[in-house]
């Protein structure tokens, strides 16, 4: 899908706070997305999380993992 998601260059990315289902605390991981995949009609907010996940065949959690791998970070808490 988008290079911004899979290889974050820093400048254009918008930060989306991922809501974890069933999470007890307000720890929301941050997912960098370009404006298109974040806010447009084909983006996370345009389609809704479920629609987005269906359209791109990837969940927000998987996306997060891939971004973290790309950035060379684990989940630091
Ligand atoms: Zn994008
Ligand atoms: Zn967002």
Q: What is the pLDDT of residue 68?
A: 80
Q: What is the pLDDT of residue 43?
A: 92
Between 41 and 8, residue with greater pLDDT: 41
In this predicted model, what pLDDT tens digit does every residue of 24-51 receive, in sequence order? 666 778 888 888 889 999 999 999 999 9
Statement: the pTM of the whole predicted model exceeds 0.75? no
CB atoms within 10 A of CB 18: 18
How many angstroms is it from 76 CA to the middle of ligand 1?
A: 25
How many angstroms is it from 36 CA to the middle of ligand 1?
A: 5
Q: What is the pLDDT of residue 44?
A: 93
Residue 59 CA to residue 9 CA, distance in Å, equals 21
How many angstroms is it from 13 CA to the middle of ligand 1?
A: 9
How many angstroms is it from 20 CA to the middle of ligand 2?
A: 13
Please, what is the angle between helix 44-56 and helix 60-71, to 10°?
Answer: 90
Q: What is the pLDDT of residue 69?
A: 81
- Return residues with CB closer than 5 A to ligand 1 (ion): 2, 4, 34, 36-37
Map tokens 């918008």 to a residue: 14
């Amino acid at each position: 899908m988008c290079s911004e998601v899979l290889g974050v260059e820093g400048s254009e990315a918008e930060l989306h706070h991922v809501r974890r289902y069933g999470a007890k605390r307000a720890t929301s991981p941050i997912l960098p997305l370009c404006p298109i995949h974040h806010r447009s009609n084909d983006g996370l907010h345009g389609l809704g999380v479920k629609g987005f996940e269906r359209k791109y065949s990837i969940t927000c959690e998987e996306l997060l993992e891939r971004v973290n791998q790309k950035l060379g970070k684990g989940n630091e808490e």
